[in-house]
Structure 1
Amino acid sequence: MRHLPVTALCTAVLLAACSQSTPAPDAAATAPYAARPELQDSGSQAILQRYADDPGLLAALQEAYGERPTTLSRPAVPPLGTLDLASDRVAYIKRTGWGAVSNYNAQYAAYATSGSVPYPGLDWTRDGCSAPDGLGLGYREDFRPPCNEHDFAYRNLKVYERTDANRLASDDAFYTNMKTICAAKSWYARPACYTAAYAYYQGVRVGGGSSF
């Protein structure tokens, strides 16, 4: 039996491999959703195009359509009243900035303008939502309450406990609060809302570092 030299054999293998057609890359996982009638508005289409290959957007769409369980988990927060003043203040910031919007609103109403504060040195200023790169413009008012709470978390944790973990937890809580709003909408409005919420979440994850 005639044996090819090693170099010739390698060349033959390479030529055979090159002669085979390269499989086409899989279409974006979110592509089937782009044709859904609930997502035909220009804002949703822009977000679908921007994050077409993003598994996070796919997960958001699957939640919106009931194709996977909705995840509305919140970061763990420490208890109050068992630590020194400085540590208790950080715990209060986390409980207020990472919890439900209703709790943040109650704290804001009680302390932001009353002159009575639970802990000294807290920043209650807020400025609502900035649409990320013009995406999700129609949801600035829907998401204003979560944006206000997110402002509180960022503006206080960057002073008293500035860590990457705290920034991530603040962003994750923000996303949960937006999805909570979306989950309460009608089945037809829910997908576009989830799509916008993901764009806002990516906006703070990618562009929020300079504000924290």
Structure 2
Amino acid sequence: MRRLVTSLAAAAVTTAATVALAAPAQAVPADKPQVLASWTQTSASSYNTWLAARNNQGAWASYEFDWSTDYCSSSPDNPFGFPFQTACARHDFGYRNHKAMGIFDANKARIDSAFYEDLKRVCSAYSGATKTSCDGTAWTYYQAVKVLG
């Protein structure tokens, strides 16, 4: 009997210590919608802050953002050598996270516009016929997401 009481007491102490030492559950920060909106605007600064966060995802873990991407889906990520991959990743980020929060429909047009601005910033590195080709490809990608999502 003494062993049973000792075992039960030890188990109770262990359980109490485990509960006391366990980290409290963390809630998703209340400003998640504002952060998400700030990272999916059309400006270069919005793109740059999103890219910095993407490169340091651990610092944003409590927000539970979905960073997954299939880049440009079934379209080439770098059509004709134009590096559209990161713009496609930000577009995926905007779509996935706005959908997860149930606020996609109200934000789709802005996310698509941000995608187009990102693509145009890629094209701004070129000149002449190459820039014209890049701009045309960017327009095609933008029209595809507007229509097909």
- TM-score, normalized by length of structure 2? 0.68
CA positional deviation for 1:188:
2.5
> Residue 165 of structure 1 aligns to a residue in which SS?
coil
Partner of 1:123: 66
Q: Displacement of 1:126 after TM fit?
A: 1.4
State the shift of 1:95 in Å. 1.4
* Greater RCO structure (CA 8 Å; 6+ sep): 1
Which residue among 80, 99, 122 is the counterpart of 1:138? 80
Q: Are positions 1:110 and 2:56 aligned together?
A: yes
Once residues 102 and 93 of structure 2 are traced to their aligned partners in structure 1, the CA distance between those partners, rounded to angstroms, is: 13
Kindly tell me: are residues 122 and 203 of structure 1, through their superposed partners in 2, closer, same or farther at Cα, counting changes over 3 Å?
A: same
Shift in Å, 1:118:
5.6
**1:159 & 1:122 partners in 2: Cα distance?**
9
Alignment of 1:192 onto 2:133: yes
Q: Counting helix residues as a fraction of each chain, which structure ranks higher?
A: 2
CA distance in 2 between counterparts of 1:196 and 1:131 reads 15
Secondary structure of 2:129's counterpart equals coil
Query: RMSD of the TM alignment (CA)?
Result: 2.4
1:93 aligned onto 2:36? yes
Q: Which amino acid aligns with 1:138?
A: F
Mapping of 1:155-174 within 5 angstroms?
155-174=96-115
SS in 2 for 1:164: coil
5+ residue gaps, structure 1, are 1-83
Other structure's SS at 1:117 match:
helix
Shift of 1:131: 5.3
Q: 1:131 to 1:200 in 2, by over 3 A?
A: farther
- Note the alpha carbon deviations across 1:70-124, whole angstroms, 9 max, x for none: xxxxxxxxxxxxxx943x101111212335333222101111xx3x426432111
Secondary structure of the 2:106 match is helix
> Distance between the aligned counterparts of 1:118 and 1:131, measured in 2?
29
1:181 is the counterpart of 2:114: no
Q: Distance in 2 between matches of 1:107 and 1:150?
A: 15
**Counterpart in the other structure of 2:91:** 150
Paired residue total: 118
- The alignment-based identity, stated in percent, is 31
Q: Please, which runs of 5 or more residues in structure 2 have no aligned partner?
A: 1-27
Q: CA deviation at 1:147?
A: 0.5
Question: CA distance change for structure 1 residues 170 and 198 in 2, over 3 Å: closer, same or farther?
Answer: same
Write the distance in 1 (CA, Å) between the matches of 2:39 and 2:96: 12
Give CA deviations for 1:36-59 in whole Å, capped at 9, x if unaligned.
xxxxxxxxxxxxxxxxxxxxxxxx
Which whole-Å CA distance do the structure 1 matches of 2:103 and 2:80 have between them? Answer: 32
Taking the aligned partners of 1:131 and 1:108, their CA distance within structure 2 comes to 22
